[in-house]
Amino acid sequence: MKTMASKLHIATWTVACILTLQPLFTGQKIEAFVTTVIATLFWMVIYYFFYLYMSPVFLLPRKLVTFFTLSLSILLILPFIGYTLLLLSKAIMEGNFEDLYKVYSVQMHLSGLKAMTLAGLCGSFFRLIVEYFKKS
């Protein structure tokens, strides 16, 4: 069954790499590429956090209330951390740290929340798939 898990990880990283390289293929500025790299790496960290920790510790043993409560709490904080990294990289490239959070808004936070929730769902769902086929 390790081969199925391996294929799943290879597919996940292949998609992540293709999405990360997209700004280079479309001729965008290097800043867009750096932003995409940071966002993709952050997304993958969340994916693997849910795949390697949250699912085996809480979801698979059916500690559902704890899983959903902890997941929601973590997911509400993560967009702020992710956008802080993106805004910080932009400030470093521009050399201007004034008003670092000037563009941060509720709409921006909700957009990040959707992305982080998708990463957590994918990590959890893929772990469930791997565990299901291990037992079959």
DSSP 51: I
Evaluate the CA torsion angle 60, 64, 67, 71 in order and state its sign. Answer: positive
Domain segments of the chain: what residues? 2-135
Furthest CA-CA distance within the chain: 56
Q: What pLDDT digit, counting tens, does each position of 87-123 carry?
A: 999 999 888 888 889 999 999 999 999 999 999 999 9
Q: If 0-12 CB within 10 Å is exposed, 13-18 middle and 19+ buried, where does residue 97 land?
A: exposed
Mean pLDDT of the chain: 91
pTM value > 0.95: no
